[in-house]
Amino acid sequence: MLRRLSGAALLLLLATGLRAQQRPAAAPVGRWRLDSPDTAAVVNVRIWEPAPGIYLFAIEAAADSSRGGFRGALHAPLGCNQGYTNIDPVKQCQVHFCLVRPDLLQLRQSDGTCGLPGGLSVSGRYRRPGADSLRRALPPLLRFEVLPSAAVLARFKALVGPDYAAFERAFERVFVEDAYDKGISRVSSGFVRGQERRRAAIVAYGPGGQLWAAVVDARNPQLLRYYTTVPAAARRLPASLEQWTKDVPGRRVQYLSKPARQAP
């Protein structure tokens, strides 16, 4: 069980005036649990509102034999572009809370360890405990909403062929990314626990089932294997994927889809 902050600590937080400028559309108060196929990692988050517009949180994390946790106050509403929550400036511990939907919370941890041992990280997607239990039987790319339907998943498998297993492994933790292209409905990126800085894969889809996807080559971290069902984009990354890969040093793209035929 997560313990409550002491009365003195709570009064100190209240005195600092860490009030949200506006309340989120859906209250995030309550318990959240990391939603990941990585069954060895357990992360629990509790958020409560001791006074109107003031949100406090406590996090407990465990993986293998490592355990840790920390507490803090949210400096802004849980909007996806509302900034970071500073927990410990000395450790450079920052966590970005994003309430994607009333039933889906996303956390991004900064480079700081936040006092967590053994490479533990709180980054990932969170759901209410016990919610969507039926989704656990779905393939990972459907369970974590990387792809919207079984039909699109089948098309994706046909597109990437033998690389499908690499994409599944890459989405151990999932982030919803910004879409910078008008024809793209959703962009999701994935990474493996303890390797947030090592981008593993990214998948985007459009309203008509169009697909754009890239996965980092297992033997060459600077090589991206890129696929798309859009012939006009077969030799260039859309802006949504380009933004995700821009800080990969020495990046090289291997274009694996057929381009559009040029008029004679």
Residue 264 is assigned to a structural domain of this protein: no
Q: What's residue 41's pLDDT?
A: 77
68-106 pLDDT per residue, tens = 888 888 776 666 655 456 666 656 677 888 888 888 888
Same domain, 128 and 25: yes
Q: What's residue 161's pLDDT?
A: 95
Same domain, 127 and 148: no
5 falls in which pLDDT band (50, 70, 90)?
Answer: very low
6 falls in which pLDDT band (50, 70, 90)?
Answer: low
For residue 226, the cross-strand partners are 214, 255
For 114, phi and psi rounded to 5 degrees?
60, 25
Full-prediction pTM beyond 0.85?
A: no
Same domain, 124 and 157: no
Mean pLDDT for the stretch of residues 185-202? 77
Could you count the other beta carbons within 10 Å of the beta carbon of residue 218? 13
132-158 pLDDT per residue, tens = 655 667 888 988 889 999 999 999 999
Same domain, 249 and 156: yes
230-258 pLDDT per residue, tens = 999 999 999 999 988 876 667 899 999 98
Residue 2 is assigned to a structural domain of this protein: no
Q: How far is CA 87 from CA 59, 69, 103, in A?
A: 12, 12, 25
In this structure, what CATH number is given to the domain that contains residue 28?
2.40.128
Q: What's residue 194's pLDDT?
A: 57
* Domain total of the chain: 2
Domain range enclosing 83: 7-134
Residue 32 is assigned to a structural domain of this protein: yes
Q: What is the 3-state secondary structure (H, E, C) of 154-216?
A: HHHHHHHHHHHHHHHHHCCEEEEECCCCCCCCEEEEEECCCCCCCCCEEEEECCCCCEEEEEE
Same domain, 115 and 184: no
